[in-house]
Structure 1
């Protein structure tokens, strides 16, 4: 089980300052959608150049033009990228084909997806990783029905949604492959301690 830090709603320098503090305790650095909108994919390239041994996820949330959007993201040194499950299945398929060609990872974001028959189509499109994502405006959403359905598949599972030290166990019961934490680290008074505590809890978790 891996720990992914989400860098979002942060300035360029803040992203590097926080990463310099916690990079030894995280497995994946996510450059959030808002940060990419503000600074472009160049910040993804800059982080990967500075931390070549850590995987960098660009949360580009592709909705269309899957081939060109994916290619551009990987050309800027992303190791993982995201596409929205609500996109046309051909968009998802094109993203997956590009990811496979680059030897990288595509994560399908299931934000606001309620019809889980879609999972069959994702599997047919070659998708191997999905994110069970409770959005910022959906903090009270119940993830269990989605998780129960996902258990029927063998996707690599990312979980996200306001995760911190206090509620981590509620997410660990879903047995994710990757736990995504944003403000639980980036807004903590002691960011290093928060990252270390979360990483330790993840590493030691047993059902």
Structure 2
């Protein structure tokens, strides 16, 4: 089970200061949508150059123009990209093809999707990774798991990422989805002892590997 740190709502300098503290504990570095909007994909390139042995995820949340959007993010050094599950299946399929051509990975973000047929559709176009994601605004509204996510506990074969206000105190509630990757944002980035918090969560995940 891997730990992914989500960098978002931070300055360029804060991103690198945090990574200098937690780099030993994290497996995947996520460059959040807000940071990409603020600083462009250049920050993805800069992080990959600084941390070449880490996987870097660009949370570009593609909705259209799947091939070109994917290729652009990969050109800037992303190892993993995201596409929204509500996008047209042709768009998602184009992202998958672009990723396969470069031996990269695409994660389909299930944010707010309630369509029970979505998993069959994604499997039919070769999607292998999905994100069971409770968004920032949903968290503030008190939303729990999307009931659709329970489908991931059945006979599905997706690599599952989980995200949504995760920290060391509520980690257990996400483990029923058998995730391959646990995404933690403010649970680390807003902690006073960021290095210690990242190490604690990484150690906790190690118990389930």
TM-score range, shorter chain: over 0.9
Is the Cα contact below 8 Å between 2:128 and 2:158 reproduced in 1? yes
Q: Please give the residue correspondences for 1:34-113 in structure 2 after superposition, counting only pairs within 5 Å.
A: 34-113=34-113
Task: Measure, in 2, the Cα distance between the counterparts of 1:193 and 1:171.
Answer: 21
| C-alpha distance in 1 between matches for 2:117 and 2:11 | 39
Deviation digits for residues 47-95 of structure 1, max 9, x if unmatched? 0001000000000000000000000000001000000001000000000
RMSD: 1.1
Within 5 Å, give how 1:138-177 maps onto structure 2: 138-139=138-139, 140-143=142-145, 145-151=147-153, 152-177=155-180
Counterpart-to-counterpart distance in 2, 1:174 and 1:150: 6
Aligned to 1:205: 208
Q: Flag structure 2 segments of 5+ consecutive residues without an equivalent.
A: none
Task: Name 1:9's counterpart in structure 2.
Answer: 9
Q: TM-score, normalised by structure 1?
A: 0.97
How far is 1:144 from its partner? 6.2
Instruction: Return the alpha-carbon distance in structure 1 between the equivalents of residues 167 and 152 of structure 2.
Output: 23
**Equivalent pair of 2:134/2:146 in contact (CA under 8 Å):** no
Asked if the contact 1:70–1:81 (Cα under 8 Å) also holds between the matched residues in 2, the reply is yes
Alpha carbons 2:152, 2:177 under 8 Å: kept: no
Q: Distance in 1 between matches of 2:110 and 2:49?
A: 30
Q: How many pairs align?
A: 206
Paired position in structure 2 for 1:20: 20
Q: CA deviation at 1:166?
A: 1.2
Structure 1 residue 147: deviation in Å? 2.9
Task: Report how far residue 170 of structure 1 moved.
Answer: 1.0
Q: 1:118 offset after TM fit, Å?
A: 1.1
The 8 Å contact of residues 107 and 131 in structure 2, kept in 1 or not, is answered as yes
- Report how far residue 153 of structure 1 moved: 1.1
Deviation beyond 4 Å, 4+ runs, structure 1: none
Structure 1 contact 172–202 (Cα < 8 Å) conserved: no
Q: 1:172 to 1:62 in 2, by over 3 A?
A: same
